[in-house]
Amino acid sequence: MLTTSERGEEVHKSYSLGANSFIVKPVNFKEFSEKINSLKLYWLMMNRGPEIDPS
């Protein structure tokens, strides 16, 4: 979940609905760009997803 909200009930609801992560996006473009680059590094380079059975 990528949002501008920091409300606790939204964090809880997001996880209860299956979100893998809850990230509050900055309003400032430079900070937003830095956060997106960090997310990209994590999800594309560091995260290991489940193996999928090809059958």
**Secondary structure string (H, E, C) spanning 4-51:** CCCCHHHHHHHHHCCCCCCEECCCCHHHHHHHHHHHHHHHHHHCCCCC
Residue 52: inside a domain, yes or no?
Answer: no
Residue 53: inside a domain, yes or no?
Answer: no
Residue 20: inside a domain, yes or no?
Answer: yes
Q: Rounded to whole angstroms, how far apart are CA atoms 12 and 23?
A: 12
pLDDT of residue 28: 94
Render each residue's pLDDT in the chain as its tens digit; 55 residues.
Answer: 888 888 999 999 999 999 988 989 999 999 999 999 998 888 888 877 778 888 7
pLDDT of residue 43: 84
Report the domain count for the chain. Answer: 1
Residue 51: inside a domain, yes or no?
Answer: no
Domain membership of residue 37 as a residue range = 2-46
Residue 54: inside a domain, yes or no?
Answer: no
Residue 38: inside a domain, yes or no?
Answer: yes
Q: Rounded to whole angstroms, how far apart are CA atoms 18 and 10?
A: 12
pLDDT of residue 50: 77
Residue 39: inside a domain, yes or no?
Answer: yes
